[in-house]
Amino acid sequence: MEILRELLQIQGVSGEESTISKFILGWVSKRKENWKVSPEIYFGDELQDCIVLKFGNPRTAVFAHMDTIGFTVRYENQLVTVGGPEAEDGFELVGKDSLGPIQCKIKKNNGQLFYDLPRAIERGTNLSFKQNIRVDEEFIQAAYLDNRLGVYNAMKLCETLEDGVVVFSTYEEHHGGSMPFLLRFIYEKWQIRQSLISDITWVTEGVHHHQGVAISLRDRNIPRKCYIDRILELAAQSGIPHQLEVEGMGSSDGREVQMSPYPMDWCFVGAPEDNVHSPDEKVSLHDLDCMLQMYRYLMKHL
């Protein structure tokens, strides 16, 4: 899991994904010749910080967003949230501005968020939770498992994928933004009509640790049932432990697939986590392993 540890140490608040994008590109360049199929790599100004990897004759796309939640420095020591982070007194934040590295704490006052640091931080600086990775026999716990585990899953999938498209997107945590041009790109090039969303969901009263990867039947958005039924049939055939999720709220890159002008189906498939959007997100290693296995199986048989 060394590659996962490296991923978790890289900052990538929504809008500032260039560092993690470069890390993934470097990893792909070093490893691709040893994979089952060496992919065509698409990146650059046309795709901003996003990455598209095309393997063989693709039928299905996997989307994994690279960004995380965080905070932006405003004025007078104020913080503005990026996405929906938990923000409690004393949570430690890190970042960097032109004056050097930053390590500070959140301070709440009358419902507003501030940073506690002797010096002023340059306005516009993004801050994120100080990382603390904990792994035991059952769980991994850290900040930004959402969605570094989804990125990790997509990267590991590349090692054995023969036919498919793997897409690393941006902005998902803060209302999206890159998916429209990514969808146009892959649909116009390869007429992709089906997709999987490699992301992390929630532990709830109906979705639990150690029960396998969660396959979402719906969230705030409702995917096409005949496509979901195909996913469920394959999941049952695979024998890989999985559980079914039904929610009326929450969203993902799947929303932008559904709202796009392209006839592309989508299904969210991901491990559930506890302590969502906090420094202490927690995921079962068993469920993560089931996620890795399920993606390999689905991409082969869809």
Residue the block writes with tokens 């993902």: 252
What's the CA gap between 277 and 285, in Å, rounded? 18
Residue the block writes with tokens 């795709």: 47
Helix then strand then coil, in percent of the chain rounded to 5, is 30, 30, 40
What are 78-102's pLDDT values in tens digits? 999 999 999 999 999 999 999 999 9
pLDDT of residue 76: 94
Where do the domains of the chain lie, and which CATH numbers do they carry?
2-68+134-301 (3.40.630.10), 70-129 (2.40.30.40)
Q: Which two tokens stand for residue 285?
A: 């290693």
The pairs formed by 113-117 with CB atoms below 8 angstroms and a separation of 24 or more are 113/71, 113/78, 113/79, 113/80, 113/81, 113/87, 114/77, 114/78, 114/79, 115/71, 115/73, 115/77, 115/79, 116/77, 117/77
Q: Supply the pTM of this predicted model.
A: 0.97
What's the CA gap between 274 and 281, in Å, rounded? 6
pLDDT tens for the chain, 302 residues long, are: 899 999 999 999 999 999 999 999 999 999 999 999 999 999 999 999 999 999 999 999 999 999 999 999 999 999 999 999 999 999 999 999 999 999 999 999 998 999 999 999 999 999 999 999 999 999 999 999 999 999 999 999 999 999 999 999 999 999 888 999 999 999 999 999 999 999 999 999 999 999 999 999 999 999 999 999 999 999 999 999 999 999 999 999 999 999 999 999 999 999 999 999 999 999 999 999 999 999 999 999 99
Reference 72, options 64, 81, 83; nearest CA is 81
* 63 membership: H or E segment, kind and range: strand 60-65
What's the CA gap between 94 and 102, in Å, rounded? 5
Reference 28, options 3, 45, 9; nearest CA is 3
Q: What is the largest CA-CA distance in the chain?
A: 59
pLDDT of residue 176: 85
